[in-house]
Amino acid sequence: MLKSIVKKGSYHDSVVLMLLTNKISTISGVKKVSIMMATPANKDIYKQSGLATEELMSATANDMVMVADVDDDSILDTIEKETEEFFKQQSTDSAKKSGRESVKSWDKAVAALPDANLAVISVPGMYAAMEADRALDENMNVFMFSDNVTIEDEKKLKEKAHSKGLAVMGPDCGTGIIQGVPIAFTNSVAPGSIGIIGASGTGIQELTTIIDRLGEGVKNAIGTGGRDLSTEVGGITMMDMIDAMEEDESVKVLIVISKPPAQSVREKISNRLSNFNKPVITLFLGEKPLYHEENFYHAYTLDEAARLAVSLVRNKEVAQGEILIDEKDFYKPEDKKTIKAYYSGGTLAGEAAMLIKDALDLKVPPQKKEGYMLNTDGHIVVDLGDDVYTQGKPHPMIDPAKRIECMKQAVDDESTAVVLFDVMLGYGSHADMAGALLPTIAELDKKAQADGRKVFFIATVCGTRRDYQGYDDAVSKLKDAGVIVCETNKLAVTAAIHAIGLKFDEPEKEIRKKEVVEIKRERASEKLLNMLSEKPKIINIGLKSFAEVAEQFGCETVQYDWMPPAGGDVELIKILNFLRAKDEIDEANNAVIAKVVSSQPVLIDNVRAKDVIPELSNKKAILHAGPPVAYENMPDPMQGSCVGAVLFEEWAADEAEARRMLEGKEIEFIPCHHVNAVGPMGGITSPNMPVFVVENKTDGNRAYCTMNEGIGKVLRFGAYSQEVVERLRWMRDVLGPTLGRAIRQLGGINVNPMVAKAIAMGDEFHQRNIAASLVFLKEVAPIITKMEMDEKDRYDVIKFLSDTDQFFLNIMMATGKAVMDSARTIKEGTIVTAMCRNGYEFGIRIAGMGDEWFTGPVNTPQGLYFTGYDKEDACPDMGDSAITETFGVGGMAMIAAPAVTRFVGAGGYEDALRTSNEMAEITIGRNPNFIIPTWNFQGACLGIDARLVVEKEITPVINTGIAHKIAGYGQIGAGTVHPPIICFQKAIRAYAKKLGFTL
């Protein structure tokens, strides 16, 4: 039966998940298992393999999914435990290997290594082109290990790179060496004076390792990707690298290797190389050149190309390799025996197919179907690294399973005389591939002997004596097991051909005079020359092992712990790239932030709402929290608050009449935000409720918010009993006027200093306002004590202020509204200027879209509950108090208030720190006015960028109270809530459209 385990938001690269799949597949009772990220492409693979489940199909690109065919459910616990141990071990191993800095965004990566000149990209192909484009924008060369990039994208990227004096190596570039530093699947090769440019990964590995074992070295080996020499791409990277290698004085000999290029591209390359001022060797696999030219050599095999290069460096001929084996037991041609060859990569497989066809005198064109390079009369040459074998499965360089399966099939065929294979050493390859294959080889050899047959196992080991697997060790293991091991692939194929009684002809080549073609030559860019002349400074995007190897060779690296941006939504990624490319957006965003930082909010008064909000004068109207919402869609507590407001205003004599008026649309509803106001929880504000007035002196705009009623059964949480109404009337008649007089006598109170003091004392200004409330009381108490007023009223006012720990929240809300409304006058950019909720929808505004709301279904808070309540009792989130988070405090400044973190469900200081650090990922600045001592005296986060929210799928955390879902119960807990990401996605889609974006 199929069982699924979905790990939400748990991203891991494909190689790691392949290794995990191998591990889990060995568990007893697991008949079949696949572990991948739930990308659209991977979902198709699951479907094809019969492992699609409902849970898988509903998962996102950032979710890891394990689908297993198991005997019973109990095995799932074992799978989860083994998975946890696997990742724990991976984390431990990575920590031991390096102390490099890891980041989660391009901005952080560039900030950590501002002079980086190479981006190494190994992320899924559908995203790789976008990341490469970003790297080019950051003036970095690109090494793109990723495959499955469209040829159209490849051409665009390479044209862009060329115009900027940069290079794109790849896509599907498996191997590279820059200044002796191995990149991706590469061997440890001695530095030297030979340069290589190749559209082949394993071909470069074979060349460099032969050169190394012959005692010479390689300066740079640059992979171009297999399609660079196609008609569509036109050899852009190859041509640029030829220019650069020519100008690099440390390169004495150049080798150019590729499968046969498009004819027009081949002519362009050959014409350019005819002008090359150093010895150059070409190897176009599959072609059989008949001659060399002066200083322009044309090789047939990788072995020949490597030996030629070493001879030219030494100015002395290098001896040819030998096959030192007894051939007396080899078959004769009339035995009609066949060769079965299984390779890790296309180049060595292609070379083998070429030589076997030569020996068989076959005139068939090159074959490449489902990984087969040759499939004729029982002779098989297979590239097991082909996509058909590696899609969703480990590469044969790291996993022997597919090769073992093929070897068994080969020996089952009675015509098989030779099983030919390669063993690839080096970084990224299996730690002991020779050892992993030996049990199968021994088993199959025994089986063949039992059948009265002789099967020759012939291998080539591609590696150097510095490779961590140990070249000599691998060769010895194979030889001890009876395997014929040859020094190079050419020699191994030659031995295989001899084993079936055939030969192939490799005639001596004459050297003719070089024909130089007149061309227009270009100078190499300084950026390319610099890249080839010094150790690269690398931003590694994807497989961590690539960074670990580069570090071993003394490179500065930054590990970008990549996850699919925007949840893997390609359209959104294109929108993000479009918006990122517009410098004016960053300028506008910075201008918005500057407005916030320079703001001077002053609390200037406390008056009745109708006196400052014209929309409330002379009519029955109520303000509510959040974006516009109809009364019938309001949650029960908000409707209860409306009832309480109607009773407070004496528009109705009782609840029944109040509800009749509300349901009969006799009351007009207006969002607080539409009239420069904000309101906590339900946000219900009626004409005669007293409001704080905050003026931002820098722009002269004002904002309003009701006063905090204290705790317990209060209007903002949906209570509307007589006790609630009477308290509201006392606030209208006594508290509000008293505070208004005090504030006016003080000439207003600057808010920023109060906030700065309180944040240093442990407030975050949403769930914790104790310090700020006392700072406010400290300001007004001396004035109140001197006022001419009833002594009981004086006592009640001071007592209420002393008892109400959250009193300052409403002042902070009005402050946030005044400041953010001032900032949104910029009217450009992607900074979030408002967040609010009405129990039905969550809404945001961004600077560049003015008054337009972008909404999504509201979430229910998660947190701690008062005794007797749980999450089943909770009301969906509501209130305008998220203006505090928009302003950069509240949940955005969680670290400022360690005392409150557990109350809001964050769990403690470490979780608070993690939360604030995460919020820094989606904001573009810090507020120097509000310094947080517990955060190394950094300023509070400032400027939520909707682009970053969408890109990273990190939504702002909002501290909030939790109301009971039924009116009258009031507050039942406190916690945190996140906006639905769809709000931010809608906002950036709309803004991109406004700026002219089309797909």
Q: How far apart are CA 427 and CA 242, in angstroms?
A: 26
Side-chain half-sphere CA neighbours of 635 within 13 A: 33
Angle in degrees, CA 497, 502, 504, rounded to 5: 75
Contacts of 539 (CB under 8 A, 6+ apart): 109, 110, 113, 116, 118, 119, 120, 135, 140, 557, 558, 560
pLDDT of residue 903: 57
Nearest CA-CA partner of 124 in 100, 109, 146, 151: 146
Partners of 696 in the β-ladder: 601, 701
Angle in degrees, CA 975, 980, 981, rounded to 5: 130
Q: How far apart are CA 570 and CA 577, in angstroms?
A: 10
Are the beta carbons of 606 and 693 closer than 8 angstroms? yes
Q: Is the dihedral of CA 608, 613, 616, 621 positive or negative?
A: negative
Are the beta carbons of 847 and 585 closer than 8 angstroms? no
Are the beta carbons of 37 and 62 closer than 8 angstroms? yes
What parts of the chain have a pLDDT lower than 70? 13-15, 41, 88, 90-101, 365-367, 392, 901-907
- Which helix or strand (DSSP H or E) is residue 284 part of? strand 280-284
What is the CA 489 to chain-centroid distance, rounded?
39
Partners of 671 in the β-ladder: 624
Are the beta carbons of 298 and 291 closer than 8 angstroms? yes
How buried is residue 160: exposed, middle or buried, by Cβ count under 10 Å (0-12/13-18/19+)?
middle
Please give the span between the terminal C-alpha atoms of the chain, in angstroms, as a whole number: 42
pLDDT of residue 906: 54
Q: How far apart are CA 445 and CA 816, in angstroms?
A: 79
Radius of gyration of the chain (CA): 36
Nearest CA-CA partner of 838 in 857, 821, 863, 818: 857
Pure H helices in 148-257: 151-163, 201-213, 236-247
What is the CA 213 to chain-centroid distance, rounded?
40
pLDDT of residue 869: 85
Pairing type for strands 218-223 and 175-178 reads antiparallel
Give me 431's structure tokens.
């730690």
- The string of pLDDT tens digits covering residues 508-534 is 899 999 999 988 888 999 999 999 999
Q: How far apart are CA 624 and CA 905, in angstroms?
A: 27
DSSP structure string for 370-423 = TTEEEEETTEEEEETTSHHHHTTS--TTT--HHHHHHHHHHHHSTTEEEEEEEE
Are the beta carbons of 190 and 218 closer than 8 angstroms? yes
Q: How far apart are CA 120 and CA 143, in angstroms?
A: 5
Phi (first) and psi of residue 503, to 5 degrees:
-135, 165
Nearest CA-CA partner of 131 in 182, 171, 179: 171
Give me 50's structure tokens.
């019969």
The CA-based dihedral angle spanning residues 991, 992, 998, 999, taken in that order and rounded to the nearest 10 degrees? -120
Give me 555's structure tokens.
């490179």
Angle in degrees, CA 271, 274, 276, rounded to 5: 115
Count other C-beta atoms under 10 Å from residue 934's C-beta: 18
Q: How many DSSP H helices and E strands does the chain contain?
A: 35, 40
DSSP-based three-state secondary structure for 962: strand
What is the CA 704 to chain-centroid distance, rounded?
41
Cα separations in angstroms, 706 against 523, 812, 889 = 70, 11, 19
pLDDT of residue 98: 47
Give me 377's structure tokens.
């009369």
Cα separations in angstroms, 431 against 181, 399, 423, 427, 436 = 20, 10, 11, 9, 9
Count other C-beta atoms under 10 Å from residue 707's C-beta: 23
Q: How far apart are CA 327 and CA 454, in angstroms?
A: 13
Give me 631's structure tokens.
């009364």
How buried is residue 480: exposed, middle or buried, by Cβ count under 10 Å (0-12/13-18/19+)?
exposed
Are the beta carbons of 282 and 266 closer than 8 angstroms? no
Q: How far apart are CA 211 and CA 190, in angstroms?
A: 9
DSSP code of 733? I
DSSP-based three-state secondary structure for 635: coil
pLDDT of residue 386: 85
Q: How far apart are CA 87 and CA 85, in angstroms?
A: 6
Give me 912's structure tokens.
């608070």
Cα separations in angstroms, 211 against 246, 321, 534, 700 = 20, 13, 22, 75
Give me 427's structure tokens.
């970084």
Count other C-beta atoms under 10 Å from residue 683's C-beta: 30
